Amino acid sequence: MNHRKSCEICNIYYSSETYQGKMLMACFPANKDRCKLWIKLVGKKDLANLPIVKLRRKHICANHFSFNHFNRDKSKLIKSAFPSLNLSRPPLEDHLLENFPTPFGKITGTNNKFTHWFFLFTSES
Ligand SMILES: [Zn+2]
């Protein structure tokens, strides 16, 4: 098991040995709408093509959250927290997140039609 976690914004690796667990690394939220907001703010197009299960294994370090997004003893983020500081990219445009979350992982141009068909099919069944 690899204990090293990298931040999706600053790409810094934090290992549990070096930081003794003191550096907070937040994983992406399980909630669809909040997860979408995080991806938008992080500004990485490739993240918009990942299903939430994979995003749950990606992290953002504490340097990107304002102090009022932490709980009282600064050990956890509050539920409504989102990355707002030291962002390295402009936010993603909304159309890039139209298909989020994707059921298949990476969507390429030609697969888009199939994805729409899939959504239609599942909503009717
Ligand atoms: Zn970071």
Mean pLDDT over 25-46 rounds to 94
Spatial separation of the C-alpha atoms in residues 20 and 43, rounded to whole Å: 29
Ligand 1 center to 77 CA (angstroms): 15
- pLDDT at res. 94: 94
Q: Which of 107, 85, 81 is nearest to 96 (CA)?
A: 107
Greater model confidence, 89 or 101: 89
Neighbours of 36 (CB within 10 A): 20
Domain boundaries, the chain: 5-124
The Å distance, Cα 27 to ligand 1 centre, comes to 12
**What is this structure's pTM?**
0.75
Dmax of the chain from CA atoms?
A: 52
Angle subtended at Cα 67 by Cα 96 and Cα 33, rounded to the nearest 5 degrees? 30
**Ligand 1 centroid to 13 CA: how many Å?**
9
CA–centroid distance, 30 to ligand 1, in Å, is 20
